[in-house]
Amino acid sequence: MAFSEFLADRVRLRLKHIKILEEKKMMGGLIFMVNEKMCVGIDIDKKTKLDRLMVRVGKLAYEELLNKAGSRKMDFTGKPMRGFLFIDPDGFDMEEDLDFWIERALEFNELL
């Protein structure tokens, strides 16, 4: 499993208030399940060797959030997964940027 413990701790800090939270090692990284649903994930991009955040934002917010700095389509298989985004380090290095993405993922999780 390839992921940054430092980034994992940054995400954990933002999710510590969640009552139903589970961490699962999968897809080569670490997934944070909120209310038994995939919410946020972290791994290391195999091409760039940089940390990467995965956020589940849903299809309604997808196109708008795709235009944010560091955001790109989540694509494992050659076909992007609508509703999920990869965020490169320039999109979450700053604390307020990481807060933004965690909040978007939690907002969508509440709708599920």
The tens digit of pLDDT for each residue in 56-80 reads: 999 999 999 999 999 999 987 788 8
Q: Which domains occur in the chain, in start order?
A: 5-111 (3.90.1150.30)
d(CA 20, CA 27): 21
Residue 1 has pLDDT above 60, yes or no: no
Angle CA 38–60–20, to nearest 5 = 25
Sheet with 51-56, strands from edge to edge, namely 21-26, 29-34, 37-44, 51-56, 84-87, 71-73
d(CA 1, CA 110): 28
Span 23-39, mean pLDDT?
93
pLDDT at 26: 86
Token representation of residue 17: 């208030």
Span 96-106, mean pLDDT?
97
- Percentage of the residues of the chain whose pLDDT score is greater than 70: 99
Span 6-13, mean pLDDT?
96
